[in-house]
């Protein structure tokens, strides 16, 4: 390196370079250039962004709002935001969409830890235990919410309960999105499973469900039940928690090892395996494969999240829905809720926080739009609106919000978490028959216990 540069430059530059005397006077161009540089560098002095330079930056009534909705959900949310901004003059909602799942939740936590978080964000209620105890969220002001017409009575008990931490409200539930049963009315009719009202006859025992599945398989000439779970990071857990909830309640993660009713757990795994026998349901189905099977009429029912509703409606067959079938006693079904939270800010601007409460209340009142994407609005006054009664099949599973089973609460659980992934991987082997129910449950217990051994980073 040295040789090259000095060899070339040294020869040419051997004569003495005269030193210019005195500093160059401040020319007009210099001043101009300095001004431009200062303008560009101004944000470096403060904490703002170059975006603030034009004066269009966030003022006291702009609520920066992070969410993870794209596709049908994203379009619906945009409509709702527009409506709220029209309704409340001067209120701005600046929405940012981040990639669903772990990337979103990691960024949210890092932003809260950094202290300059956005005013409001969407959080799955199942994730609350990973955020509130660590001080990553600020609590909502109940009085302010009440001022904008939002109180405890407006929400289903299950969701409201789950939104609390340490006696304070840390999340305002926006919806409940349960795991439910969709069915194809044509297929169900051909299988003789429709009641006089045109709805699916109630399925109240494991055998009844399997028989119905066989009847539908005969009607489609393919399979009866669509259920996609292979290589998926959540589906197996959703089914498991639903039936386990009916049999035994919730998994207990408060101790050093998981509190689980093994007999009940094995019964659920065994049942799933019997359903996935190749006749009633395809044991090799992945999530997208199950969707296309159901859409193509090659299955009469699908066990699925209600968030798939818009896709099913597009497929164009007569669609029915019920809450998750109560085959093992009391009605229970896996669900989660989207909610609004206040990411922790080191410096809180009171005006802006007030605007945030107002924005949350405004969005809740727009959730009839949200319901069109399949979700059950958590804000119950919306359910009374005439517009909601017209939503079919949404109304037929609205009751699922009251029988919701969430992920067991722990810092490592929730939507898109490694907990869901890990437990699902163990269950998949049991469901498909690669492992016996006992071995699968052993594996589940082992994996959960391993997570419980990790010191809680929020403690």
Pick left, alpha or beta for residue 71 (phi over 0 → left; psi -120 to 50 → alpha; otherwise beta): left
Which residue lies nearer to another protein by CB, 131 or 324?
A: 131
Phi, psi of 226 (to 5 degrees): -95, 130
Specify the 3-state DSSP secondary structure of 336: strand
Which residue lies nearer to another protein by CB, 3 or 196?
A: 3
Residue range at the interface with another protein (CB under 8 A); choices 176-184, 201-209, 334-342, 449-457: 449-457
Q: Does 8 bind another protein (CB under 8 A)?
A: yes
Q: Does 23 bind another protein (CB under 8 A)?
A: no
232 bridge partner residues: none
Which residue lies nearer to another protein by CB, 379 or 412?
A: 412
Q: Does 80 bind another protein (CB under 8 A)?
A: no
Which residue lies nearer to another protein by CB, 189 or 311?
A: 311
Residue range at the interface with another protein (CB under 8 A); choices 27-35, 68-76, 290-298, 357-365: 68-76
Q: How far is the CB of 199 from another protein (least distance, A)?
A: 32
Q: Does 120 bind another protein (CB under 8 A)?
A: no
What is the chain's Cα-based Rg? Answer: 28
- What tokens does 89 get? 């003059």
Which residue lies nearer to another protein by CB, 26 or 47?
A: 47
Q: Does 389 bind another protein (CB under 8 A)?
A: no
Q: How far is the CB of 415 from another protein (least distance, A)?
A: 13
Residue range at the interface with another protein (CB under 8 A); choices 104-112, 150-158, 241-249, 388-396: 104-112
- What tokens does 202 get? 């109630």
Q: Does 106 bind another protein (CB under 8 A)?
A: yes
Q: Which of 292, 399, 418, 432 binds another protein (CB under 8 A)?
A: 418
Q: Does 22 bind another protein (CB under 8 A)?
A: no
- Between CA 114 and CA 319 the distance in angstroms is 47
Contacts to another protein from residues 329-388, by CB under 8 A: 346
**Residues 84 and 359: beta-carbon distance below 8 Å:** yes
- Between CA 287 and CA 289 the distance in angstroms is 5
Q: Does 165 bind another protein (CB under 8 A)?
A: no
Q: Does 313 bind another protein (CB under 8 A)?
A: no
Residue range at the interface with another protein (CB under 8 A); choices 50-58, 251-259, 387-395, 433-441: 50-58
Q: Does 85 bind another protein (CB under 8 A)?
A: no
Polymer length of the chain: 459
Report the alpha-carbon angle 292-268-181, nearest 5. 35
Cα–Cα separations (whole angstroms), residue 243 to 118, 299, 348, 427, 458: 38, 21, 44, 13, 31
User: Which residue has tokens 């105890």?
Assistant: 133
- What tokens does 415 get? 């939507």
N- to C-terminal Cα separation, the chain: 55
**DSSP per-residue codes, 136-185:** -EE---HHHHHHTT--GGGS-HHHHHHTEETTEE--EE-EEEEEEEEEEH
Contacts with another protein by CB under 8 A lie at: 1-10, 13-14, 16-17, 19-20, 40-41, 43-44, 47, 49-52, 57, 69-72, 74-75, 77-78, 95-99, 102-103, 105-107, 109-111, 113-118, 134-136, 231, 346, 411-412, 418, 425, 454-455, 457-459
């Amino acid at each position: 390196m040295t040789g090259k540069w000095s060899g070339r430059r040294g020869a040419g530059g051997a004569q003495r370079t005269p030193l210019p005397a005195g500093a160059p006077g401040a020319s007009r161009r210099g001043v101009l250039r300095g001004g431009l540089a200062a303008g560009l560098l101004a944000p470096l002095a403060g904490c703002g962004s170059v975006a603030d330079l034009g004066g269009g930056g966030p003022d006291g009534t702009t609520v920066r709002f992070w969410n993870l909705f794209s596709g049908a959900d994203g379009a619906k949310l945009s409509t709702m935001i527009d409506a709220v901004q029209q309704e409340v003059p001067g209120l701005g909602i600046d929405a940012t969409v981040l990639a669903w799942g772990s990337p979103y939740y990691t960024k949210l936590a890092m932003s809260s830890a950094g202290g300059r978080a956005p005013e409001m964000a969407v959080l799955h209620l199942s994730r609350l235990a990973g955020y509130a105890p660590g001080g990553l969220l600020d609590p909502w002001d109940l009085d302010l919410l009440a001022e904008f017409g939002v109180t405890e009575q407006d929400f289903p008990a299950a969701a409201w309960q789950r939104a609390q931490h340490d006696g304070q409200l840390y999340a305002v539930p926006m919806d409940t999105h349960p795991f439910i049963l969709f069915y194809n009315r044509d297929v169900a009719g051909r299988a003789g499973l429709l009641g006089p009202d045109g709805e699916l006859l109630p399925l109240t025992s494991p055998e009844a469900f399997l028989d119905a599945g066989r009847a539908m398989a005969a009607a489609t000439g393919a399979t009866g039940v669509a259920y996609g779970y292979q290589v998926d990071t959540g589906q197996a857990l959703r089914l498991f928690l639903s039936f386990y909830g009916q049999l035994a309640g919730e998994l207990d993660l408060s101790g050093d090892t998981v509190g689980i009713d093994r007999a009940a757990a094995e019964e659920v795994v065994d049942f799933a395996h019997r359903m996935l026998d190749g006749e009633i349901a395809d044991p090799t189905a992945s999530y997208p494969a199950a969707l296309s099977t159901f859409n193509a009429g090659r299955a009469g029912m699908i066990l699925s999240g209600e968030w798939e509703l818009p896709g099913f409606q597009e497929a164009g067959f007569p669609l029915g829905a019920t809450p998750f079938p109560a085959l093992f006693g009391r009605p229970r079904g896996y669900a989660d809720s989207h909610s609004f939270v206040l990411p922790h800010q080191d410096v809180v601007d009171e005006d802006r926080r007030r605007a945030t409460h107002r924005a949350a209340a405004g969005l809740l009142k727009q959730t009839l739009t949200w319901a069109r994407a399949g979700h059950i609005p958590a804000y119950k006054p919306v359910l009374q609106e005439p517009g909601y009664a017209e939503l079919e099949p949404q109304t037929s599973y609205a009751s699922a919000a009251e029988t919701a089973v969430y992920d067991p609460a722990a810092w490592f659980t929730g939507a898109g978490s490694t907990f869901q992934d890990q437990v699902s991987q163990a269950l998949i082997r049991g469901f498909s028959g690669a492992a016996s129910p006992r071995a699968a449950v052993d594996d589940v217990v082992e994996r959960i216990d391993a997570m419980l051994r990790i010191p809680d980073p929020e403690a």
